[in-house]
Structure 1
Amino acid sequence: MTLTTNSQSSAPASSSTAGRLLGLAYGAVAYVIFLVTFLCAIGFVSGFAVPKTVDTVRDTAPPPMHALVVNLVLLAIFAIQHSGMARRGFKHVLTKVVSPVIERSTYVLFSSLALILLFSFWQPLPETVWRIDNAKAAAAVYSVAAFGWLIVLYSTFLISHFELFGLKQVTLHALGRVIPDIDFKTPGLYRVVRHPIYLGFLIAFWAAPVMTFGHLLFAAATTAYIFIGIALEERDLVAIFGDQYRQYRARVAMLLPKIF
């Protein structure tokens, strides 16, 4: 995730009222799908309240090599989609096909669909890497994971949650108002670390009282992707904001707050 929201600036379009309402409906549906997917992601990783989790074994566990290959393909599909569609070059091409107003909603929709695909076809690797049997200690670890998810959600609101997920753009367009340019801002946690959303995901993915090989694969692969994503994202941010972002990067830590 970024300090910017990748919105497109534009004057109120001359499209019809029906077209604007259609764009609003599209953005609203994309947002609802994202919201449900986000809640499912919490259950999928944490292991509760959803039909299938990272460790669910239906009848018998698949052969480990089969599960490994399938899971790596699913993770690769998400990584390519999520990072590829976020690049400036891809967005330039996409906005020649769809209206810039719904570009962010389209990105959010496809990211959600890639996650749904991953959740649906994920193969368990149930062998245990570690297990915390003490009930109080396990509850404490679950609390840490919940804290990670709260960091994720809170951080999105710090940088405009509804703009980040495309809903603000389609709403302003439907009202005939100008969609503002992207701006550089570092509120709250962004003054301490450059990527608090990613930090929250890392905490949530690794804080598990029971760590299976399947969960470990998910956590390790997404951690690697996060660092690759940060590198690509910061390259774009430097291209957009120049020295302003370079100075911010030199001053503020990437993920772990500087002690001094």
Structure 2
Amino acid sequence: MSSSSPTPLERLLTLALGTLRPPPGARRIALALAYGIICHVVFAAAVLAMIVAMFFGMSESLGRVPSPWSVLANAALILQFPAAHSLLLTRRGGRALARLAPGGYGRTLATTTYAIIASVQLLALFALWTPSGVVWWRAEGTALLVTFTLYALSWLMLIKASYDAGAEVQSGALGWMSLIQNIRPVFPDMPTGGLFRLIRQPIYVAFALTLWTVPVWTPDQLVLALSLTAYCLAAPRLKERRFAARYGARFDAYRRTVPYAVPRWTGNGHRGR
């Protein structure tokens, strides 16, 4: 990345400041604000549901589907997230997203629409899960302190990785903030800084870590952790195909020097080539 490229914070500030004095267009501004409010409220609710539900090992949730149908319901909740999440990132999915906003603003609002759909999916998964009622292990004392710390660090890593990748895209802000300014969304450059210096997929790795650092273990949490970890390891392969097509030789060079999911370290403590 060029030294003249704006930092993630500079991009966010530029985008945010531009929303303070938007060009005229009451209908466009109202639509942008409506999408922004919906996006960030649902996003916050989904993150809160994830943090709380997994903290209790999926043993506390709102789902009340009777057995044995609860197994099918929970399986459907798991499968719906990676299926739609990956589908919407394809060209066909992108065309579908472009049709999901009124007034011909679908393309501009695509990242916001995508974030809304992903947040609703996650909110459904973690809020509507039907607990099995079985608890294998619950951390107490020192074990609780250790697991709580690891769980918090995993979430901080996920936040940091999302920031490094472009918080305006990851949060859905890029779409509605661009619309309110009546400009075309400008996506951040290929991420290579921050945690992306160590591994190519820090967001997926951090998300997987949140699944395995919980202080309560149940059959529910194990099934969830195994399923979504498999997704976190496999799904980025599709993402890397898109990056290879978009960035060509730059991504090939990056891929040759930075490992996929596990950092490489030399004896002096630096990442190896």
Q: TM-score, normalised by structure 2?
A: 0.78
1:26 CA drift (Å):
1.0
Counterparts of residues 170-189 of structure 1 (less than 5 Å): 170-189=176-195
Counterparts of residues 57-72 of structure 1 (less than 5 Å): 63=67, 65-72=68-75
Partner of 2:151: 145
Partner of 2:230: 224
1:113 CA drift (Å):
1.2
Residue 31 of structure 1: which of 35, 40, 53 is its match?
A: 40
- Count of residue correspondences: 240
The superposition leaves residues 122-153 of structure 1 with CA deviations (integer Å, 9 ceiling, x where unpaired) of 12234344x36551022101210110011111
The superposition leaves residues 148-169 of structure 1 with CA deviations (integer Å, 9 ceiling, x where unpaired) of 0111112212232123222133
Q: CA distance change for structure 1 residues 243 and 164 in 2, over 3 Å: closer, same or farther?
A: same
Counterparts of residues 1-260 of structure 1 (less than 5 Å): 16-47=25-56, 54-56=58-60, 63=67, 65-96=68-99, 98=101, 99-129=106-136, 131=137, 135-260=141-266
Q: TM-score, normalised by structure 1?
A: 0.82
| Higher mean displacement: 136-145 or 22-31 | 22-31
Percent identical among aligned pairs is: 24
1:104 CA drift (Å):
0.8
- Hey, what's the Cα distance between the residues in 1 that align with 2:215 and 2:183? 49
Q: CA distance change for structure 1 residues 216 and 18 in 2, over 3 Å: closer, same or farther?
A: same
**Structure 1 unaligned spans of 5+:** 1-13, 48-52
- Hey, what's the Cα distance between the residues in 2 that align with 1:93 and 1:21? 23
Q: Verify the 8 A CA contact 2:164 2:191 in the aligned structure 1.
A: no
**Structure 2 unaligned spans of 5+:** 1-22, 267-273
Q: Residue 86 of structure 2 aligns to which amino acid in structure 1?
A: S
Q: Residue 108 of structure 1 aligns to which amino acid in structure 2?
A: A
Higher RCO structure (Cα 8 Å, ≥6 apart): 1
1:46 CA drift (Å):
0.9
Q: Verify the 8 A CA contact 1:28 1:167 in the aligned structure 2.
A: no
Q: CA distance change for structure 1 residues 93 and 36 in 2, over 3 Å: closer, same or farther?
A: closer
Q: Residue 110 of structure 1 aligns to which amino acid in structure 2?
A: I
Q: CA distance change for structure 1 residues 205 and 28 in 2, over 3 Å: closer, same or farther?
A: same
Q: Verify the 8 A CA contact 2:61 2:129 in the aligned structure 1.
A: no
Question: Once superposed, what is the RMSD of the aligned Cα atoms?
Answer: 2.6
| Higher mean displacement: 219-228 or 87-96 | 87-96
Q: CA distance change for structure 1 residues 35 and 134 in 2, over 3 Å: closer, same or farther?
A: closer
- Hey, what's the Cα distance between the residues in 2 that align with 1:26 and 1:107? 11
SS of the equivalent of 1:259 reads coil
Q: Which runs of 4+ in 1 moved over 3 A?
A: 14-17, 57-63, 126-129
- Hey, what's the Cα distance between the residues in 2 that align with 1:58 and 1:17? 40
